[in-house]
């Protein structure tokens, strides 16, 4: 059985999704800190439709996301909703309130397209 990893998601699936149909109304850079085996820090610029591994010069972030590898994969596969992740503290979000609201809606769109 195929098991998605966060690296595969950020390097392959998300760039394709952003170019084909970026989440509506989400602009700015979001930092995703994925912890655990296979984890890394990724910067996603929804305005420019780019995904990069974190580098030495950090941009201004609209939102920050932190999750364990297994929880993030469950999120993007649609097995965990953003609300469930927040309630159970398996998903941590910080940043501008409007950006966070748009990000949680976008995660739902991404999970539907990835699944």
User: Which residue has 């760039």 as its token pair?
Assistant: 15
Q: Helix, strand, coil shares of the chain as percentages rounded to 5?
A: 40, 25, 35
- The pLDDT of residue 1 is 39
Over residues 18-68, the pLDDT tens digits come to 888 777 678 889 999 999 988 999 999 988 999 999 988 888 999 999 999
Shortest CA distance to 77 belongs to which of 26, 3, 1? 3
pTM of the predicted protein model:
0.89
Q: What are the structural domains, with CATH classification, of the chain?
A: 6-114 (3.30.1050.10)
Which residue stretches of the chain are H helix? Answer: 6-8, 14-20, 69-76, 82-87, 97-114
What's the N-to-C CA distance of the chain in angstroms?
14
């Amino acid at each position: 059985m195929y098991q998605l990893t966060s690296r595969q998601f950020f390097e392959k699936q998300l760039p394709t999704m952003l170019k084909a149909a970026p989440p509506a109304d989400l602009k700015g850079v979001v930092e995703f800190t994925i912890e655990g085996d296979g984890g890394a820090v990724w910067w996603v610029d929804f305005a420019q439709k780019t995904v990069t591994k974190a580098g030495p010069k950090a941009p201004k972030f609209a939102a920050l996301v932190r999750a364990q590898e297994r929880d993030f994969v469950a999120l993007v596969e649609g097995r965990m909703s953003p609300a469930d992740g927040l309630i159970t503290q398996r998903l941590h979000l910080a940043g501008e309130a409007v950006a966070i609201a748009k990000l949680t809606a976008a995660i739902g769109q991404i999970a539907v397209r990835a699944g």
